[in-house]
Structure 1
Amino acid sequence: MLQPFPISTLMSAPSGVQPSVQGPVAVGDLLSEASKRYEQEFLQRPDAFSVSPAAIPLLGTSAVHENISVSVAVDRYTVIVGRARQESSEVRVVSTSSGTVCAFQLPPIEGDGDEPAVEVRKCDWCQIIRSLIQELRQLSGIDISGFTAVVHGTIPPNQSMNSSAALEVAMAALVQRLFPQSFCTVSQMDMLLACRRADQKCLAIGSNAFTSSALEQLTCTFSRQMHAIHADAGDMRIFDFISFPSQPTIRLLLIAPLISQECLQLPLDRWQDSPTEDELAVAAAQLMGRPSLRDMTIEDVDGAPLDDRQRKAVMGVVLEANRVNQLVSMQRSCTAEDLGALLNSDRLANDECLRLLSAIRFLPGIFGCRRVNGSYQSSSGFAALAVADVGVCGSYLVKFAQDYNCTVHVLTPADGAYSSYLKFMAPQH
């Protein structure tokens, strides 16, 4: 009954990965696991911890629209435990997810800006950390000693929850906690901007391609429980909060199809030479003599000399901006029905995405859903975000995950990043 558009025959999961419904893991449990791993690695207890939630976009974030967005932090976390090593200049960080170690020596502060190791174009988690530590030391000539840390978490890779933004924000919070005297005059916004510069240097890309990550960093840092953040990357110092629907059983669902590498390769080959929506929209803006599509109206698009694909891409940007403005205008009065209708009004999706979205909307208790990553031209890498009453649809989710070969993440809007000391974990006598 729950299969109006069965797609499981078109997608196969990677070996060992099974369809499932995933709920949150308590932060306390994550900290206990990270602390245990720390003791195994370094033969002593960590002194401090930091926690950052994942961030996902609700509406907006188009680079060509100068990154006006509404996003939300959710209860999937990166936690880091660590300890300062005053006698050493080595930073050593262990990742529990990859099993790898990031280790490097801190150079003298006066030569920090010339460190070549962070100037690589292919970025991984270790280079993110190196770049961030460099930026933190450059804030005001801050000199810190080495430290050891363990990174642990529940943010799934490549499923619209930005693990890099959470890693940067959590690492900055941990360093600030480990070296409080060095950072006593540094604000949260200073730390956020350091994360932004580190990300930009590490990825070696221009600001337009990079600022989506900046908005995710902002969300990870400043979010409030059961609220979304409305922000403009043009001025990161100005943002406001939008109340999430207040009904106690309203949640976000992130539905990610399990696609094998063999299946994934097909749409990538098919579309690798095709321009993305943003590239099409940039070309359209140039044809129209506009520096960006910000403040563009539907009437402007109607009279523009654009081909069908460019017009579709531009309309996607304009309509997305309209959806953001509608949600902001609702502020505290936004209901689950209102938010679901805004998600449903996004019609940019290919046939494969539309089949999954239609199946999700067929579930009882679903108010609306949309595609949240990947290209509308290709099904590779896409996921769907839904607003749902889990009191109604919860009993259907396991069967849905099995029938449609996907992982369903049940998410609650969460508070932003924080840090503290681990004295509460001392043994009781």
Structure 2
Amino acid sequence: MTPVELEAAAARAFEAEFGARAEIAARAPGRVELLGNHTDYNGGLVMAAAVDRYTAVVGRVAPSSREARVYAANFEGSARFPLAEITRGPVGTWPNYVKGVVWAMHEALDAELTQGFEAAVAGEVPLGAGLSSSASLQASVAFFLLQAGIAPGKTVEQYVGDLSDTARMDLAMVLRRSENAFVGVSSGLLDQFSSLFGREDHALFLDCQSLEFARVPLGSPGPAIIVCDSKTSRKLADGMYNRRFAECNTVVDHFKARKGADAVSLLRDVTLEELESEWDALDPVCRKRARHVLTENERVRQGVAALRAGELKTFGKLISASHASSRDDFENSSPALDALVEIAETAPGFLGGKLSGAGWAGCTVNLVEADKADEFAEAVRRGYADRQGVAPDVHICRAAEGASSRSLAD
């Protein structure tokens, strides 16, 4: 489904639910992490790509109303809430993400939205596949509100159309605040950044400490980005994320004692040479976690250089090296994820593959020659089903444009 077709589906849902024609449309993509696994909260470097799986929000301003009414076509569910008193609903429910964006915009603008709105949401970002459907929803809701012109103190022209990168970064910070403080999910900036900054056939580089960023070409046409779902439960990762966070901070505390708190606040502030010089003094488990993060930062640096030099195969090898480091040093892989990567390595067009997101379960992401994408997908489906006894979901994606919005009046 093209983005325009998705918007049309959302518009039909809007008309069926509200008995009126939608006047505004916005859309935002999901994203995949290409390099930089577990580097974000360590102040490190990350590479990602927005992918051509979108969430669309269509609707209209309700000038006489002071409330929001939202219909989610995928869930056949509705939410209704007053703009003057936004409260969080049950944990894990989709309305919290819509409410959170409105709440965070209130906070950022130091004013309430001036008019109510009605909207319908339709999405094609697979849930639970590591493509960040939540950030896609957040960004599309934000662009809808900005296109509608109902955010006080800001004009539409400041945000839509040729939205500046400075404004996009400001908005990414607002959306992160929405997820952290309202929804209650501790996340870095990568998801929102990727959904807002995406560009067709480009990877995205982000320095999580300085917020320096770049769009780096993947080639023209770029490779396929293929996400393979192991069909294993993400509940397997419960508690493990926080444990890895603590293990990394144990190394940070060691170097704070050596160098002082002013010199070291995050693992990013430690060099690989310093880690190696203190190797024997460090906890045997924690030092491996740190080695993964620091070598992963270096792989990101090398990855940016490789793509700028047009060396896609080198970039693919770095992705595969990232998986090996995750498997051996960070130990956030699993037999199912390893099986997916091993099967992918022998499939047509394979350039590189790794676990995606937190790890321990879920998905892998693979860089694949564009003209071999279908053959690759079939080989992985067949090979994984034979080996694991379950057919994986395989999503063939391309690096895509970031969030946008438009009027449907014409």
User: Is contact 1:49-1:420 (8 Å) kept?
Assistant: yes
Partner of 1:221: 196
1:96 aligns with 2:70: no
For residues 69-148 of structure 1, the aligned pairs below 5 Å read 69-107=46-84, 115=85, 117-118=87-88, 122-138=91-107, 139-141=109-111, 143-148=113-118
Partner of 1:34: 10
Structure 2 CA distance for aligned equivalents of residues 47 and 166 of structure 1: 20
RMSD (Å), alpha carbons: 2.4
**Bigger CA drift: 50-59 or 348-357?**
348-357
User: Is contact 1:278-1:313 (8 Å) kept?
Assistant: no
Equivalent in 340, 348, 368 of residue 352 of structure 2: 368
Kindly provide the amino acid, as one letter, of the partner of residue 374 in structure 2. G
Change beyond 3 A, Cα 1:144–1:191: farther
For residues 33-52 of structure 1, the aligned pairs below 5 Å read 33-52=9-28
1:251 aligns with 2:224: yes
Kindly provide the amino acid, as one letter, of the partner of residue 104 in structure 2. E
User: Is contact 2:136-2:192 (8 Å) kept?
Assistant: yes
Partner of 2:405: 419
Structure 1 CA distance for aligned equivalents of residues 104 and 271 of structure 2: 40
Structure 2 CA distance for aligned equivalents of residues 233 and 397 of structure 1: 33
Change beyond 3 A, Cα 1:121–1:283: farther
Structure 1 CA distance for aligned equivalents of residues 352 and 78 of structure 2: 42
Q: Shift in Å at residue 371 of structure 1?
A: 0.9
Q: Shift in Å at residue 191 of structure 1?
A: 3.0
User: Is contact 1:64-1:282 (8 Å) kept?
Assistant: no
For residues 184-263 of structure 1, the aligned pairs below 5 Å read 184=155, 187-204=167-184, 209-211=186-188, 214-236=189-211, 238-246=212-220, 248=221, 250-259=223-232
User: Is contact 2:55-2:125 (8 Å) kept?
Assistant: yes
User: Is contact 2:340-2:380 (8 Å) kept?
Assistant: no
Residue aligned with 1:414, SS: coil
Residue deviations 1:64-109 (CA, integer Å, cap 9, x gap): 42142111101000001011111111201111122221210121xx
1:318 aligns with 2:269: no
**Bigger CA drift: 143-152 or 347-356?**
347-356
Partner of 1:328: 304
Structure 2 CA distance for aligned equivalents of residues 354 and 317 of structure 1: 19
User: Is contact 1:339-1:387 (8 Å) kept?
Assistant: no
Equivalent in 58, 61, 76 of residue 34 of structure 2: 58
Q: Shift in Å at residue 193 of structure 1?
A: 2.8
Partner of 2:273: 299
Structure 2 CA distance for aligned equivalents of residues 351 and 204 of structure 1: 27
Change beyond 3 A, Cα 1:398–1:194: same
Equivalent in 236, 255, 261 of residue 288 of structure 1: 255
Change beyond 3 A, Cα 1:181–1:100: closer
1:162 aligns with 2:132: yes
1:175 aligns with 2:161: no
Q: Shift in Å at residue 398 of structure 1?
A: 2.4
Partner of 1:427: none
TM value normalised by structure 2: 0.84
User: Is contact 1:369-1:387 (8 Å) kept?
Assistant: yes
**Bigger CA drift: 280-289 or 72-81?**
280-289
Change beyond 3 A, Cα 1:298–1:189: closer
Gaps of 5+ in 1: 1-24, 108-114, 425-429
> Aligned residues, how many?
375
Change beyond 3 A, Cα 1:194–1:324: same
Gaps of 5+ in 2: 160-166, 257-263, 328-332, 385-390
Residue aligned with 1:132, SS: helix
Structure 1 CA distance for aligned equivalents of residues 151 and 121 of structure 2: 24
Structure 2 CA distance for aligned equivalents of residues 72 and 149 of structure 1: 28
Q: Shift in Å at residue 244 of structure 1?
A: 0.9
RCO comparison, higher one (Cα < 8 Å, 6+): 1
Residue aligned with 1:152, SS: strand
Kindly provide the amino acid, as one letter, of the partner of residue 368 in structure 1. G
User: Is contact 1:64-1:281 (8 Å) kept?
Assistant: no
Structure 2 CA distance for aligned equivalents of residues 58 and 156 of structure 1: 18
Structure 2 CA distance for aligned equivalents of residues 181 and 371 of structure 1: 39
Residue deviations 1:157-188 (CA, integer Å, cap 9, x gap): 11111111111111010001112684315644
Change beyond 3 A, Cα 1:131–1:59: same
